[in-house]
Amino acid sequence: MNPSNLLTLVFALALAGSLVLKFWLASRQMRHVAQHRHAVPAAFVDQISLEAHQKAAEYTIAQSRFGLLELAWGAAVTLGWTLLGGLTLLNETLGQWLSSSLAQQVALLAVFTVVSSLLDLPFTLYRTFVIEARFGFNKTTLALWLQDLVKSTVLAVLIGGPLAALVVWMMGATGAYWWLWTWGVWMGFNLLMLLVYPTWIAPWFNQFKPLQDAELQTRVTQLMARCGFTSKGFYVMDGSKRSAHANAYFTGFGASKRVVFYDTLLQQLTAPEVDAVLAHELGHFKHRHILKRVVSMFALSLLGFALLGWVSQQVWFFTGLGVMPNLGAPNDALALMLFMMVLPLLGTFVGPLFAQLSRKHEFEADAYAVAQTSGADLSSALLKLYKDNASTLTPDPVYVKFYYSHPPASERLGRMLGTASAGV
């Protein structure tokens, strides 16, 4: 079997295998949650009502059921772009209209992105305005959604367009080691975004006001000082204008680092509970989780660029995925798009390793928060967030292994309270 036919077979099997695996996992999750929806787990019976537990079950099942449709559609779209000839047709059509190879390649990336976004649009709208609205989470109006869409499009054109053009140009102009130079540019861009996003981009979508609560301001300032951390400030984001979901996070890098609380979070938690949630986030920094993830991203992206640098020179990479490469013209944009479509298939099978590492980091951050604040406050805060975000307390254990970046409530609170009692 020649390399082209072998790749076609492997790709088809991987696409089908990924789809079957995800369908099986989603079915397990829905079945497991439905079987346990009639009674609150004993460990939570005093904190979570049956009504809240059943709402979480129904929300999880609705999300999973709709996710099955998205999975099937996503696989069909991938198949359409590749083995069914969609990408070849688009490339040949643009090649007839544009004489400049660079312009043609950038246009190919742009049109591909626009078409892919339009194909996903009905699912985004349904999830936001039907599922999220049905369970009381969506606060976004159609006008605000359209406004966000326009802003995102403007940013994509102003930032993504020049970046795409630069990457495609470098792929063809910097020699055999273009992938190394391009990787350096890509990493530099990501680091720049860590600096620019908090102060220039995020405020374009949300309002960020300095934290006004004097008691909370004092508590979090003392906590930061006690833990040896500094930030540019504490801010409250108007997340409630889009969603009822609550969150808090660190953003930025170096001097631009800041702490952001959703207004919904401050409405739901007491000051000691907010303190505990912040301590958890500080735990990620204390254990260098953020740095480790950045370094891992750098290493994996370098490996990915190196692999792209090799396969982009192999004719069988294109033909094996159902795409006819350009003859006597660059195929850099084609290679980039094909690589980005194939990569998620690999992620399906290695994803559980990263999910397990993420859950380990969450346990470590919880332990740090318990040591710095109160295990009772953190567990109380997390239970409120599980309830208000309609997170199921009874996920399928196998599904957790594959998808959960955070430990399920039973494991997380059980270990946390054990840590608290042990005085760690």
pLDDT in tens, the chain (424 residues): 788 999 999 999 999 999 999 999 999 999 999 999 999 998 888 888 999 999 999 999 999 999 999 999 999 999 999 999 999 999 999 988 887 788 899 999 999 999 999 999 999 999 999 999 999 999 999 999 999 999 999 999 999 999 999 999 999 899 889 999 999 999 999 888 888 888 889 889 999 888 888 888 888 888 888 888 877 778 899 988 888 887 877 776 655 567 888 988 888 888 899 989 989 988 988 898 988 988 998 999 999 999 999 999 999 999 999 999 887 778 899 999 999 999 888 888 888 999 999 999 999 999 999 998 888 899 989 888 888 888 999 999 999 999 999 999 888 887 776 654 433 3
- Give the predicted TM-score (pTM) of the model: 0.88
3-class DSSP state for residue 76?
Answer: helix
- Single out the residue of 220, 202, 230, 200 nearest to residue 265, CA to CA: 220
396 is catalytic: no
58 is catalytic: no
The pair phi, psi for residue 249, each rounded to 5°, is -160, 160
Return all residues near 245 (Cβ < 8 A) that are at least 6 apart: 137, 239, 262, 264, 388, 389
Catalytic residue among 281, 332, 377, 388: 281
Read off the tokens for 367: 């332990």
What residue numbers does the annotated binding site for Zn(2+) cover?
Answer: 280, 284, 362
Q: Residue 286 is which amino acid?
A: K
Read off the tokens for 295: 């370094």
Helix (H) or strand (E) holding 235: strand 234-237
What residue numbers does the annotated binding site cover?
Answer: 280, 284, 362
Q: Order of strands across the sheet with 258-262?
A: 208-210, 234-237, 258-262, 248-251
3-class DSSP state for residue 208?
Answer: strand
Return all residues near 348 (Cβ < 8 A) that are at least 6 apart: 18, 21, 22
Catalytic residue among 132, 366, 388, 396: 366
